Amino acid sequence: MRLLPALAFGTLMLPLAAQANEPHSYAQPDQVVVTHLDLNLKVDFPHRQLDGQATLTLDWKNPKATTLVLDTRDLKIASIEAVDAKGKTRALTYVLAPADKQLGSKLTIQTPKRPHEVRIAYVTSPDASGLQWLPPAQTADKKQPFMFSQSESIHARSWVPLQDSPAIRFTWDAHVTAPKNLRVLMSAPNNPQHPLDGTFDFKQTHPVPSYLLAIAAGDIDVKETGPRSAVYAEPSVVGKAAHEFEDTEKMIATAEKLYGPYRWGRYDILVLPPSFPYGGMENPNMTFATPTVLVGDKSLVSLVAHELAHSWSGNLVTAASWRDIWLNEGITTYVQGRITEALYGKRQADEETLLSIHALQKSIGSMSANSQRLAPQPRDISADDSLSDVAYDKGSWFMRTLEQKFGRKDFDTYLKSYFNHFAWHSITTEQMLAFLKPNLIDKYPGKMRWAEVKDWVYGTGIPKDAPIPDSPRFDAIDKERTAFLAGTLPATKLDAKSWNTQEWMYFLDRLPDAPPLAKMQQLDAAWHLTGTPNAEIGMRWYSHAIAAGDKAAWPAAAEHMTRIGRLYLTMPLYAAFAKTPDGLAYAEQVYAKAKAGYHPLTQQAVEALFAKAKAKQSGAK
């Protein structure tokens, strides 16, 4: 079909018709676009809700439009009114549609006079998918309640009525009230010296998509780690976190040398309670991070490098839809590796790359053909499912391939120009490719065929010539693992005293899916893996111990599952238990105790896994 004229900023900007074709949003940006959001929020811990008022500034694209369509999920709407240029208001009629399981409820507001602003008063649900409310008992210090958001992918609509699509960027400000002595933080510049007086004001002057809206409130202390960085966490955690993340300023400076200035002002990190469902979330100015990376030796701080890298790929240049999310995650994972290499050496960067490569090689074959593509057919994949290993690991592998083909110097120059060209905009895969072809592929002819590029982006699987780094340490571990499994090398003779976290991960990752019980018992006796405080090692160890039938490890696995709500570190254990009837029954007991401390996204994932396991076991009978 013929597209509508493109937005400003050259010929490569996103057409309005493409914005309107986002399958995960009800918004109609070809009719009207939100350009600014003014929030007034009250944090209500007793009722587990935000009392909100959202004022949306509108840019009407169609002079004949008569409705404003927004995304919501489980919001209770109190009133909606138009606001004219003089501040006068008048009530608007609206219809809140029945809820769709994936998309929430379409909010259609009648706006016959196309007002400059629309103001919505509302209350969130205690079960909002994008918010978690923790009682004091579920926090580290067990003194005060804690609340935090997780808006990616399409959960911002559960705490703000808006156009919840990554294609739509807006500036925002917020006034938030909360109980005194608690700190409120948002995804905007935060003041480490702000008094805990119950009133907080925020201003995000850069246009951002809705999934980067974030809020947290609780007993939060702060330690500065540099002239433009600080770590926030509960008082008992903040010192450990500040030590672990003391290289943050070096990371910022390293990224700036590669890809240009950091454009957001401050870069702070909030370490959340362990129920946070992800490793990290790249909220502008305030990365939300899991405490599971606080192992004391900085071996897992690549997570911070990843979230910081999003300040260029993702937050500065954003995927226009969840189908294009590899533009965020794949490029970011590549940049993460470059930061890690510069600060901690090529060995650690290569080991982390190999871990992701092997994980992708193991998982991609079980995916549908469409899910194996960097740019899949969008309607076949949900917004949350778009955030898969393919987006992260195949995407970064493609970036490393480009680096190898064109050389690091020329590829760095290209990538820096890409960030500058598309800064503060949301783009599609096709727009990225339209920039890539003249500025890299055609500029240096003979180094990579266009057919190879299309195979990476639109093809299934992994191209046969995909480059894989060498790791002598991993090669040596392969030999030791083989000898151990063959019985020619006792567990006590493994050269594991010198292994770092990544090397232990690699050793465990490549054990058989169901290793012999005796071998697991020998390994545990020699290296005391049951009870490890390192969650990355623990997840891998318990998964294999459960698969081997080692019931002695079950209580420690249950403690890990109860303490940690991060999906990546918890779901493999539930999956391992769910493979047998006894294991499934035990996992259900663990979940009954752990559920209250899990984020809604983790709850949904566990319950879906249980349903699938029960159906499979029932069918087997």
Terminus-to-terminus CA distance in the chain, angstroms?
52
Given 234, 244, 307, 352, the catalytic residue:
307
Task: Pull the structure tokens for residue 267.
Answer: 């870069």
Is 22 assigned a ligand-binding role in the annotation? no
Strands (E), 24-158: 32-44, 49-60, 67-72, 76-83, 89-91, 94-96, 105-110, 117-123, 131-134, 146-149
Q: Quickly count: other Cβ atoms within 10 Å of residue 348's Cβ.
A: 20
Are 248 and 229 a contacting pair, CB within 8 Å?
yes
DSSP assigned state of 109:
E
DSSP assigned state of 313:
B
- Rounded to whole angstroms, how far apart are CA atoms 578 and 565? 18
- Rounded to whole angstroms, how far apart are CA atoms 501 and 280? 19
Strands (E), 236-354: 268-271, 280-281, 286-289, 317-319
SS3 570: helix
- Rounded to whole angstroms, how far apart are CA atoms 467 and 398? 9
Given 232, 334, 392, 586, the catalytic residue:
392
Are 158 and 73 a contacting pair, CB within 8 Å?
yes
Q: Quickly count: other Cβ atoms within 10 Å of residue 293's Cβ.
A: 24
Q: Buried b vs exposed e over 333-346: b needs ≥16 C-beta within 10 Å? A: bbbbbbbbbbbbee
- Rounded to whole angstroms, how far apart are CA atoms 276 and 292? 10
SS3 50: strand
Are 25 and 164 a contacting pair, CB within 8 Å?
yes
Is 306 assigned a ligand-binding role in the annotation? yes
- Rounded to whole angstroms, how far apart are CA atoms 602 and 355? 24
Where do the H-state alpha helices sit in 366-471? 389, 395-406, 408-421, 429-436, 450-458
Are 122 and 75 a contacting pair, CB within 8 Å?
yes
**Is 392 assigned a catalytic role?**
yes
Give how far Cα 422 sits from Cα of 259, 315, 426, 428, 539, Å.
Answer: 13, 11, 8, 11, 39
Give the residue among 224, 221, 217 at the shortest CA–CA distance from 202.
217
- Rounded to whole angstroms, how far apart are CA atoms 83 and 212? 26
DSSP percent split of the chain into helix, strand, coil, nearest 5: 45, 20, 35
Give the residue among 537, 538, 536, 534 at the shortest CA–CA distance from 553.
538
- Rounded to whole angstroms, how far apart are CA atoms 241 and 387? 27
**Is 307 assigned a catalytic role?**
yes
Is 246 assigned a ligand-binding role in the annotation? no
Annotated binding site: 306, 310, 329
Annotated binding site for Zn(2+): 306, 310, 329
Catalytic residues: 307, 392
